[in-house]
Copies of this chain bind each other. A is one copy, B any other.
Amino acid sequence: MAAPSEEEGAVGRRYHQRSTAMLDVPFLPFCAFLGTLGLLCVAMVGSWCQHWRGGFSLDGSSRTFNWHPVLMVTGLVVLYGAAALVYRIPYTWSGPKLPWKVLHGSLALGAFILTVLGLSAVFYFHNSQGTPNMYSLHSWIGLGTVLLFSCQWAAGFGAFLLPWAPTWLRVLYKPIHVFFGSTILLLSVASCVSGINEKLFFSLKNGTMQYKLLPAEAVFANTLGLLILIFGVLVVAALARPSWKRPDSDSPDSRQLPPALGAGRHRDCAGNAEPARLQTANPAAKNRN
């Protein structure tokens, strides 16, 4: 393919810079929106189980099961999403990286603990009711997601937090960790969607309350499923957005910032010095000035 002429390049760059400016979204307001959306998901799944499904208990009844959706949405979706976004907060870009690595790992560990508790709730409920475990597609995807998450956390801890992990291992593993970070969130969202769908078919069977008649509970829980889906897609998009990525000093690959909505790529790869790149690469930082 022939390289474009200087003039074509200049015109394209001008258009691209204009489109980039139009597509730029400050991180912090977007992050606040994501936080609100995540809290709304947690509040809605809690309200669903409390208001329509009889609340919570530890007696092995369906009220024990109710801990499952609440803990999974809170841990494997919302808290996991928060952990994934730590390095996108502009304040974390300056100073040593270790404290933010610890925060990232701690939030992920918290998400993992809630996830394991959520799994325990459904296994305890099934065992108390004599219901078999691990037969539905939802359960297969859900358990697979949790297993991937456990490998991800252990490998991330070993590669990035243990001081004796060699640099070549960190550099080799980092893109794999990043890829599975987004993949696990997408799998957990798919698990939530199939789980909510399944639970509504189980619960809404009686004459006037059938799922197919779309009672208030069905509208509420369907809406919850959609919000969880939107939250997951927006977190993955935020993770991929070039101008929101932390320019790492410890890996040259991050000296070029990647594209998500394509914005900022021209600037990010312009090869400016670090401080200048920090300034231009991050619209949120710009907006704070």
Contacts and interface: CB of A to CB of B under 8 A. Distances in A.
Interface of A: 1-4, 8-9, 11-13, 15-16, 18-20, 22-23, 93-95, 131-132, 135-138, 140-141, 144, 167-168, 171-172, 174-176, 178-179, 183, 186-187, 189-190, 193-194, 196-198, 200-202, 211-214, 218, 221-222, 225-226, 229, 233, 237, 240, 242, 247, 249-256, 258-263, 265-266, 268-269, 271, 273-275, 278
A224 to B, nearest CB: 9
Contact of A132 (B132, B212, B251): B212
Contact of A253 (B201, B247, B262): B262
Quick one: which of A176, A194, A247 has the most chain B CB within 10 A? A194
A242 B22 CA distance: 24
B167 A2 contact: no
Contact of A3 (B13, B187, B213, B275): B275
Contact of A259 (B23, B140, B193, B258): B258
B15 A168 contact: yes
Given A171-B19, A258-B242, A193 B141 contact: yes
B261 A140 contact: no
Quick one: which of A167, A189, A214, A229 has the most chain B CB within 10 A? A229
A190 B187 contact: no
Given A135-B213, A140-B226, A256-B268, 12 more contacts: A3-B273, A4-B274, A12-B251, A12-B252, A20-B253, A178-B262, A183-B237, A186-B186, A189-B190, A190-B194, A194-B197, A255-B266
A23 B135 contact: no
B8 A172 contact: no
Contacts of A137: 193, 196-197, 200, 221-222, 225-226
A156 to B, nearest CB: 15
B132 A213 contact: yes
Contact of A211 (B93, B135, B213, B255): B135
6 contacts: A1-B93, A18-B172, A135-B212, A135-B213, A175-B262, A256-B268
A165 to B, nearest CB: 12
A128 to B, nearest CB: 15
A2 B277 CA distance: 12
Contacts of A253: 16, 20, 259, 262-263, 265-266
Given A179-B260, A256-B266, A260-B179, A94 B135 contact: no
A135 B197 CA distance: 10
B183 A233 contact: yes
Contacts of A11: 167
A4 to B, nearest CB: 4
